[in-house]
Amino acid sequence: MEAVETASRSTSRSLRRVGILYDERMCRHHTPDDEPHPENPNRIRAIWNKLQSAGISQRCEVLSAKEAEDKYILSVHGKSHVDLIRNISSQQYNSRRNRIASKLNSIYLNEGSSEAAYLAAGSVIEVAKRVAKGELDSAFAIVRPPGHHAEHDEAMGFCLFNNVAIATNFLLNEKELGINKILIVDWDVHHGNGTQKTFWKDPRVLFFSVHRHEFGSFYPSNDDGDYTMIGEGPGAGYNINVPWENGRCGDADYLAVWDHILIPVAKQFNPDMILISAGFDAAVGDPLGGCCVTPYGYAMLLRKLMDFARGKIVLALEGGYNLASISNSALACMEVLLDEKIVTGSTEAYPFESTWRVIQVVRQELKAFWSVLADEVPTKLISQKAPIPVKKILISSCDSEAEDVEELLQEVIRPLSTLRVDEDCRVLAESASVSWRSDLSNIDIWYATFGSNMWKPRFLFYIEGGQVDGMQKLCSGSMDKRPPKEILWKIFPHRLFFGRESTRTWGLGGVAFLHPESKNEDIVHMCLYRITLEQFNDVLHQENISSYDMSSPLFDLDCVKEKGSINLEAVKLSHSGL
């Protein structure tokens, strides 16, 4: 008899039996000389510590890891791959290990890798088995290395064995468990290529992945994650990809995809169990993902899935590289599993226009297989896209003589309009570099604001962090939390104009400038804050919720200097903010 069946539940335990699995042995997989790497042992430690200090693990059945048996791993991987991962940590491989890793795509290996890989796969099997048997209602396996990129004969993308695929095959093959249809939801920001391939022709497994794709340029950088990849043979229609065209997707985008694709299909598919490839690298603040799902967003996504498979849900950790983000996201999910907080409501934001477009093409592609997708999405909904902003910044010179408007337009407006505020910030480095910070922390700028930022307490949330009033938005603040060194109110004899037709973040007219030309009646009140260029970048990042890739500044002086005649001095003297 299993321990969890006999354990009498104390009153502090949840009414729901929720399993949580953590094992320190999975921390022994790390880079050979412990060089920094985003996929490092502190990821699972951070989550585990958070769940303990929040009192969550105390309300759960705590399980420890078990190594997977080869026969289960072999249901997904080839023999040579299994042999390699089993032996890679042995001494015979000491001299070859690094060379082997370097030939693989985004993989490191050390003496702890074999054991961790077996434990990660075995742990997902373990919790899945207990949920299938009804010993647990649901469970979260805090495992690493992650799994969803691992293919039949190939480790890649930080993944050695495909943990979720292995557990899925285990459930289907253990006939007495009575699990015949499984829904895999892969909300890791990357495409679950390995899982997709495993079940490509298998109608017992509905694989759903939502991921940054950018037309095949985002990792794993090929067409596998395209929406046209729907499965084959008997599996046709049982593979659903939702490929983002850009980063910066957040709660509103994910919820729209849930409401208009995943949830209707889940209803029709009616799974016996749900496995979630629960990477948290689409979370706000993730250095690789560049998306902005909040813990509240994850809670909603999970809550909506609990209405299926009689709540039999297993979460297995995949990616997620910001320790605070993944811990908070995991905590939010555990609270949902424990059913202790009601999560309802909607988000402040609307989905991107591109999100509605993707939803429509996915529905079109799959409607032959899922009748619930056949109807057009109401135009009323689609017209609700990322809102028109109430504000924004970026001013040029305040006391220009306006004698050479043409030149000013060329030299001020053009460089400003090339700011990367609205661009896709592709993450080039594995970990966010912070080297720009020290340079920019020594440079003061005047940040001229209008609209809500003129109200100091409101603006300070972007510096000090906190909850912006009237919005469900939690600001992280700047890394430099010093208050503005000076605050100035000024009236400028100019008018504001929108420098672009639209930006993806703010919608129409997203970025405003002071018009360099001055007409008699023109007047604008602005509040100027003297802050550092580092702080300014942090403000920009938060206001354009979008780019949480902090590996490079959105704005530095090169943007201006390169273009020639707007020099540093001029920027300082003219009290120009940016």
* AA letter at 99: R
Q: Label the pairing between strands 524-532 and 444-449.
A: antiparallel
Write down the least CB distance from residue 476 to Zn ion, Å: 21
The single residue of 77, 149, 191, 515 carrying the catalytic annotation is 149
DSSP per residue, 243-280: EESSS--BHHHHHHHIIIIIHHHHHHH--SEEEEEE--
Using N-to-C axis directions, what is the helix angle for 163-173 and 113-133, rounded to 10°? 40
Write down the least CB distance from residue 234 to ligand Q9C, Å: 29
Write down the least CB distance from residue 551 to ligand Q9C, Å: 13
Write down the least CB distance from residue 338 to ligand Q9C, Å: 26
Determine, following the binding rule CB under 6 A, whether residue 146 of this chain makes contact with ligand Q9C.
yes
CA-wise closest residue to 190 among 224, 215, 159, 219: 219
Note the Cα 171 to chain centre separation in Å.
29
What residue 149 binds from ligand Q9C, Zn ion, none (CB within 5 to 8 A, per partner kind)? Answer: ligand Q9C
What residue 219 binds from Zn ion, ligand Q9C, none (CB within 5 to 8 A, per partner kind)? Answer: ligand Q9C
Residue from 135, 151, 186, 281 touching ligand Q9C (CB under 6 A): that is 281
Determine, following the binding rule CB under 6 A, whether residue 219 of this chain makes contact with ligand Q9C.
yes
The Cα-based distances of 1 to 129, 130, 139, 426 in angstroms read: 14, 12, 19, 51
**Does the annotation count 190 as an active-site position?**
no
* CA atoms of 145 and 110, how far apart (whole Å): 12
Residue range at the interface with ligand Q9C (CB under 6 A); choices 2-10, 156-164, 443-451, 567-575 = 156-164
If the CB atoms of residues 155 and 440 are measured against Zn ion, the closer one turns out to be: 155
Determine, following the binding rule CB under 6 A, whether residue 534 of this chain makes contact with ligand Q9C.
no
Determine, following the binding rule CB under 6 A, whether residue 370 of this chain makes contact with ligand Q9C.
no
* CA atoms of 453 and 172, how far apart (whole Å): 56
Residue from 140, 158, 446, 462 touching ligand Q9C (CB under 6 A): that is 158
At residue 565, the 3 state secondary structure works out as coil
CA-wise closest residue to 40 among 116, 151, 153: 116
* CA atoms of 370 and 190, how far apart (whole Å): 25
Determine, following the binding rule CB under 6 A, whether residue 318 of this chain makes contact with ligand Q9C.
yes
Determine, following the binding rule CB under 6 A, whether residue 149 of this chain makes contact with ligand Q9C.
yes
* CA atoms of 37 and 25, how far apart (whole Å): 18
Write down the least CB distance from residue 317 to ligand Q9C, Å: 9
Binding mask of the shown chain, residues 114 to 133, with x at each position contacting ligand Q9C by CB under 6 A: --------------------
Write down the least CB distance from residue 219 to ligand Q9C, Å: 4
* AA letter at 276: I
Neighbouring C-beta atoms of residue 399, cutoff 10 Å: 13
* CA atoms of 167 and 163, how far apart (whole Å): 6
If the CB atoms of residues 146 and 295 are measured against ligand Q9C, the closer one turns out to be: 146
Write down the least CB distance from residue 214 to Zn ion, Å: 14
Determine, following the binding rule CB under 6 A, whether residue 285 of this chain makes contact with ligand Q9C.
no
Q: Are 188 and 277 in contact (CB under 8 A)?
A: yes
Phi, psi angles (nearest 5°) of residue 316: -120, 130
* CA atoms of 514 and 543, how far apart (whole Å): 19
Tokens coding 93: 């491989």
Tokens coding 78: 């080839």
Residue range at the interface with ligand Q9C (CB under 6 A); choices 42-50, 151-159, 307-315, 352-360 = 151-159
* AA letter at 313: I
The answer to whether the bond into 220 is cis (omega within 30° of 0) is yes
Determine, following the binding rule CB under 6 A, whether residue 188 of this chain makes contact with ligand Q9C.
yes
If the CB atoms of residues 191 and 363 are measured against ligand Q9C, the closer one turns out to be: 191
What residue 146 binds from Zn ion, ligand Q9C, none (CB within 5 to 8 A, per partner kind)? Answer: ligand Q9C
Write down the least CB distance from residue 37 to ligand Q9C, Å: 10
Binding to ligand Q9C in span 63-122, by CB under 6 A: 106
**Which residues of the chain form contacts with Zn ion (CB under 5 A)?**
188, 190, 279, 281, 319
Contacts of 92 (CB under 8 A, 6+ apart): none
Residue range at the interface with ligand Q9C (CB under 6 A); choices 48-56, 154-162, 202-210, 254-262 = 154-162
Size of the site for ligand Q9C (CB under 6 A): 13
Contacts of 316 (CB under 8 A, 6+ apart): 124, 127, 140, 141, 143, 147, 163, 164, 167, 275, 276, 277, 278
What residue 289 binds from Zn ion, ligand Q9C, none (CB within 5 to 8 A, per partner kind)? Answer: none
Contacts of 3 (CB under 8 A, 6+ apart): none
Determine, following the binding rule CB under 6 A, whether residue 279 of this chain makes contact with ligand Q9C.
yes
Q: Which residue has the CB atom at the shortest distance from ligand Q9C?
A: 319
If the CB atoms of residues 108 and 356 are measured against Zn ion, the closer one turns out to be: 108
Catalytic residues: 149
Positions that interact with ligand Q9C (CB under 6 A): 106, 146, 149, 157-159, 188, 190, 219, 279, 281, 318-319
